[in-house]
Structure 1
């Protein structure tokens, strides 16, 4: 693992232990999301200018109306012009609101596309150390907060700033003294909001982190709901989820408290300014310094100036909340993708080889201690004395070759490193030392998509995706015909799955394939690999969930499709191993024997012991 990756792991651990908030986004990082909609925002800006002009003209017309009435003249077209401006201002505001809502949804969509596009291309090691629920929360909850940037005042504040400046100039012309008093009140409110804005951003980030924790807890409980029920642990799981929900609630209350200090500031500023202007202005009217019409116009301009100020305060709150969420989004987007470091890799020279797959002195260790059934995946928290970034050795100088068109079996006790070998072939990880070759070529010099197109991989837990049978079968072969899908289902003895539902290939399999049995899920996963018909097949415990009859039928299907193909099989059953052209015996990450069944019985005590127990170690 790279030094940068280890540094990220250390940073994540420190945050978890100290409660430190993650990186906060800068406002400049928000601009690309807005600039994607610059045409619409340009229209909104023009509408804001027109709306500001219509608003600023209204006090002037009201002043004219008062002056005309004082002189006893007819109002004429002034009233209709004033009504027209009010209606026009309302129409502009309504259309502007629609455009902002639409653009806000566009910002959410683009941020989700960018986030998901990056997230699904992250190295597998990133998923080893992050919780699924928290990642889902970033896509759902965090991106939604970006909408508030547009819908709660940012762009409106741009138009409002024009109104603010226009009103300021008009008030300066009408009475500089009254304006000076008003500015003093407003300046005090602006300083207060500025001091609070930083606290809002920090609190918002922490609140979103707690929402991520809650989503992770819910995902954990729901994904294992059957296990939880069977263990009578429902109440404990509910309590754990409620604990995270309370944590999210508390941080939400913190944000609400800080926001509650910001919201009334605009109202207080407006009321104080109004009272000051009314009192001092009344005195100045009495002294003849200004007219009643001028005072009314000044008060109306005051309202026009305070309104965008309130929008600006709302924008500060929404933008800071969005920047807290954007920090969590950017934390994922800024991570390097799976292939981005490939340019710095120096592949080993190509060698002549008859092997489809070759391992040469390969050593590998996970950054965190593994904790799966075989000890190869699902890393656990770091060991107390190791620290984050200290590799947990899994493979040590592994060397063997899998001949082209032959079957190679990997056997050994749990934790020997068998599944890790398949993960390295798929290039989910790169070795710490040594070389993995495909046809004599260092796989690090191959495009990952090109490499994986040549390999069919059936994982140990036989994952099935929510959706239909067809969607699962055609994951790697989207253009497969119905006839091809049905043929491969027949080959793995899944005809009954088609027959028991009138939807056939379109029958749903449920979340994680819950509507299928364990053996059916495993056979469906194998059918998916067989349908792609790659030159290399990697089978990790592919028959572990099958009964004897289905195992025999499946072996025949694999034998048929394996003709002229390279198979690397991990198995715990002797019947799956004995017919292999080559068996590689692993123990504690080392190769301790390579040969046929008969050769290993004679030469390798561990294999003889495993065979005696039918390899069911």
Structure 2
């Protein structure tokens, strides 16, 4: 608030000094040129110089302060919007492309700053300047002031109509520009795929079409925004020309004081700029307010998996997981899980296998409350996960996804994301368990080597081993492995599987796997087909069922096709 007060004080000083310069013109003409007052030759120039100096310092002060305020607004909203979107549900990000969302937010946050800065500068500088200058005009000559002010109403009426058109065009432009930036970002991230499939030409054509649309929309906005300029200039020109003609006539015919007339005309000319800016204010505010409203559309969204008002903290001393008659679908009328029930005993390993799309990864997502079940319940140690806080639930879980994701920063920082308070020794121990230390120490800066965008400097297997190390350093009682070894070669898979076997001891583990060789030692194996558990047992028990789905699937893989899908066994 203090910065706002100082900025407004500076703007008031700019407005007051501008009006004073118009006022002092009467004394410049009358006392120096008409009365030839020698003392005025010294005093009035000094006063004019001091006024310009004050105006310059105040202008600098308001510009710097408003820039700081604007930058602070951007920073605060960036923090606020990031904090909010990280609280939104996973389905929000499934429905909104991340690159498009980032580009749109970047544009919208600037709109918040522009709205506040435009409001402050227009009210404190332009409006006050206009009021002070009109005051000078009225004091000098009320009749001429009335003539000059007749220009206002037609300009105001015209601007009201333009603002409505601009609102629609601005929203469309923001969306198109966000799509352009998002498409460029996606092309940069997927450049290896682009080049591998020689997609340069079709992608270039698609982006060029978007750029053309963005250009056309921007041209339309400029045409609407600048439509006020010729009308304002013409109306203002008529008013100023009329005032000059009438005041000149009165000075020549009736001998009116040239100082008063000169002060009036100076005030009128100085009032033109703030009046012109105020005439465009509504049009400019419409553009800024569209951006601001789009930010609040996101900020007003509520997480679909919000904590219950009386949610408690999950302790999970044992970590027993139970799915009780769970039904779920991502879209209405399309069930993925149909009355699914099972218990994953505490401290034991439960493996999930099944055809692609059968619901295995959905089970992992529901357990972490990325989505809420449509029917039934999921409990951990008897506690329904909908009755506990999401933070306490997820703090009891370590997760290794199928597609490893690394963030900007070093190898050490990426592993530490699993548990921010982990010591360097714990991070290095987790890396050793994940069989990652060998390539980490071979990197140029060891653990302090930057990983590049999403780990582009690392192989798929290396990224996966860092992902496993991140899960291990979390030291949670529940471990979720979603095809955790899928990106590894045979040697790495053997090493990591040994590390995982050690990490899984005394933990409740859910493993999603296609390679049956990785789950033969599981305490129980659940075969998931069309959203239901169709077989359950140990590896030995299931293999002994000659006509079972698991046995056929195992037979196909044992025959040499390590990646054959369960659907092939079913068929």
Query: What residue in structure 1 maps to residue 414 of structure 2?
Result: 472
**SS of residue paired to 2:461:** helix
The structure 1 residue matched to 2:261, chosen from 295, 302, 306, is 295
Question: Is 1:181 matched up with 2:147?
Answer: yes
The structure 1 residue matched to 2:432, chosen from 477, 485, 490, is 490
Residue correspondence of structure 1 range 247-262 to structure 2 within 5 A: 247-262=213-228
Deviations 1:228-276 (A, max 9, x none): 2111111111111111111211111111111221344444443332211
By how many angstroms is 1:582 displaced? 0.6
By how many angstroms is 1:339 displaced? 5.3
Query: What residue in structure 1 maps to residue 85 of structure 2?
Result: 119
Query: What residue in structure 2 maps to residue 89 of structure 1?
Result: 55
Question: Is 1:457 matched up with 2:457?
Answer: no
The structure 2 residue matched to 1:207, chosen from 161, 169, 173, is 173
Query: What residue in structure 1 maps to residue 245 of structure 2?
Result: 279
Q: TM-score scaled to structure 1, two decimals?
A: 0.85
Q: 8 Å contact 1:118–1:337 — kept in the other structure?
A: no
Question: Is 1:73 matched up with 2:37?
Answer: yes
The structure 1 residue matched to 2:26, chosen from 47, 63, 83, is 63
CA separation in 1, counterparts of 2:385 and 2:347?
19
By how many angstroms is 1:96 displaced? 1.1
**SS of residue paired to 1:613:** helix
CA separation in 2, counterparts of 1:64 and 1:353?
88
By how many angstroms is 1:433 displaced? 0.6
Question: Is 1:40 matched up with 2:3?
Answer: yes
Question: Is 1:306 matched up with 2:272?
Answer: yes
Query: What residue in structure 2 maps to residue 613 of structure 1?
Result: 556
**SS of residue paired to 2:227:** helix
Which structure 1 residue ranges, 5 or more long, are not aligned? 1-37, 368-389
Query: What residue in structure 2 maps to residue 573 of structure 1?
Result: 515
Residue correspondence of structure 1 range 570-609 to structure 2 within 5 A: 570-603=512-545, 605-609=548-552
By how many angstroms is 1:154 displaced? 4.1
Q: 8 Å contact 2:310–2:387 — kept in the other structure?
A: no
Question: Is 1:166 matched up with 2:114?
Answer: no
By how many angstroms is 1:508 displaced? 1.8
CA separation in 1, counterparts of 2:221 and 2:88?
32
By how many angstroms is 1:391 displaced? 4.6
Q: 8 Å contact 2:7–2:66 — kept in the other structure?
A: yes
Q: Which moved more, 1:600-609 or 1:420-429?
A: 600-609
Question: Is 1:143 matched up with 2:106?
Answer: no
**SS of residue paired to 1:77:** helix
By how many angstroms is 1:192 displaced? 1.8
**SS of residue paired to 1:457:** strand
Query: What residue in structure 1 maps to residue 66 of structure 2?
Result: 100
The structure 2 residue matched to 1:537, chosen from 479, 499, 504, is 479
Query: What residue in structure 1 maps to residue 323 of structure 2?
Result: 359
Q: Which moved more, 1:587-596 or 1:336-345?
A: 336-345
By how many angstroms is 1:463 displaced? 1.6
Q: 8 Å contact 2:398–2:471 — kept in the other structure?
A: yes
By how many angstroms is 1:150 displaced? 5.1
Question: Is 1:432 matched up with 2:374?
Answer: yes
Distance 1:113 1:540, change over 3 A: same
CA separation in 1, counterparts of 2:250 and 2:333?
80
Q: 8 Å contact 2:307–2:387 — kept in the other structure?
A: no
Which structure 2 residue ranges, 5 or more long, are not aligned? 558-562, 566-571
Output the aligned Cα RMSD: 2.3
By how many angstroms is 1:156 displaced? 4.2
The structure 2 residue matched to 1:499, chosen from 417, 434, 441, is 441
Query: What residue in structure 1 maps to residue 502 of structure 2?
Result: 560
**SS of residue paired to 2:408:** coil
By how many angstroms is 1:138 displaced? 2.5
Query: What residue in structure 2 maps to residue 405 of structure 1?
Result: 347
Residue correspondence of structure 1 range 15-54 to structure 2 within 5 A: 38-54=1-17
The structure 1 residue matched to 2:199, chosen from 221, 233, 237, is 233
CA separation in 2, counterparts of 1:605 and 1:508?
48
Deviations 1:276-302 (A, max 9, x none): 111122122233274221211111111
Residue correspondence of structure 1 range 256-271 to structure 2 within 5 A: 256-271=222-237
Q: 8 Å contact 1:217–1:244 — kept in the other structure?
A: no
CA separation in 2, counterparts of 1:325 and 1:341?
30
Q: 8 Å contact 2:159–2:280 — kept in the other structure?
A: no
Q: Which moved more, 1:286-295 or 1:160-169?
A: 286-295
CA separation in 1, counterparts of 2:477 and 2:317?
16
Q: 8 Å contact 1:359–1:401 — kept in the other structure?
A: yes
CA separation in 2, counterparts of 1:103 and 1:394?
50
CA separation in 1, counterparts of 2:59 and 2:441?
59
Q: Which moved more, 1:194-203 or 1:89-98?
A: 194-203
CA separation in 2, counterparts of 1:283 and 1:354?
99
Query: What residue in structure 1 maps to residue 364 of structure 2?
Result: 422
CA separation in 2, counterparts of 1:340 and 1:532?
24
By how many angstroms is 1:163 displaced? 2.2
Query: What residue in structure 2 maps to residue 222 of structure 1?
Result: 188
CA separation in 2, counterparts of 1:550 and 1:440?
38
Q: Which moved more, 1:123-132 or 1:544-553?
A: 544-553
Deviations 1:49-88 (A, max 9, x none): 2222222222222102212231233224122112211221
Q: 8 Å contact 1:355–1:440 — kept in the other structure?
A: no
Question: Is 1:441 matched up with 2:383?
Answer: yes
By how many angstroms is 1:329 displaced? 1.2
Q: 8 Å contact 2:305–2:371 — kept in the other structure?
A: no
Q: 8 Å contact 1:409–1:570 — kept in the other structure?
A: yes
Q: 8 Å contact 2:134–2:271 — kept in the other structure?
A: yes
Q: 8 Å contact 1:464–1:513 — kept in the other structure?
A: yes
By how many angstroms is 1:479 displaced? 2.5
Q: TM-score scaled to structure 2, two decimals?
A: 0.92
**Count of aligned pairs between the two proteins:** 554
